[in-house]
Amino acid sequence: MNQADYNMAKDINILLIDDSDVDNFINKAIISKEDNISQITTMTSGHDALAHLTSIVDNTEDYPDVIFLDIKMPRMNGFEFLDEYINLPKALTDHCKIYILSSSMDSVDSEKGKEYSVVTKHLIKPLAHHQIGHLLAED
């Protein structure tokens, strides 16, 4: 989606996956300030996010356009989520951009994220340091 398309879009769905309710609350508040956001869904675990994505697989209008994914989570970390996510139907995975959003500045995490073709970019928390409109407009 280029900047002109973003400016015309009215139905951007966001999925936040982070085990921290505080981070989800803050990130939702930051994202909701953007004009073209129609829905922001928060999940506090990779398992819950996968269950959600599986439940909407037949409803293309509910697909998230962007996922912000934390890496350091209990039970299922972000990379384990990605290992399962890539097995979802291609229609869903091709539709969505994934941004790793982590407090980890470890280059190993950043390099590992690059191994997943579904990952658009690794962002360092907090989300407030990034220009959301530009991220949403990236192709």
Chain-wide mean pLDDT for the chain?
A: 86
Reported as a single tens digit per residue, the pLDDT across 3-21 is 444 444 457 899 999 999 9
Residue percentage of the chain with pLDDT more than 90: 58
Domains and CATH numbers, the chain: 3-137 (3.40.50.2300)
Q: Is the dihedral of CA 24, 70, 132, 97 positive or negative?
A: negative
pLDDT of residue 111: 83
Token pair 């990130």: residue: 27
Helices in 17-95 by DSSP H: which ranges? 21-31, 46-55, 78-85, 90-95
Whole-prediction pTM: 0.88
Helix (H) or strand (E) holding 108: helix 107-114
CA distance 121 to 114: 8
Reported as a single tens digit per residue, the pLDDT across 100-129 is 998 877 778 778 888 999 999 988 888 877
User: Model confidence at 72, in pLDDT bands (50, 70, 90)?
Assistant: very high
Residue 83 corresponds to which tokens in the numbers above?
Answer: 């290992």
CA distance 72 to 33: 26
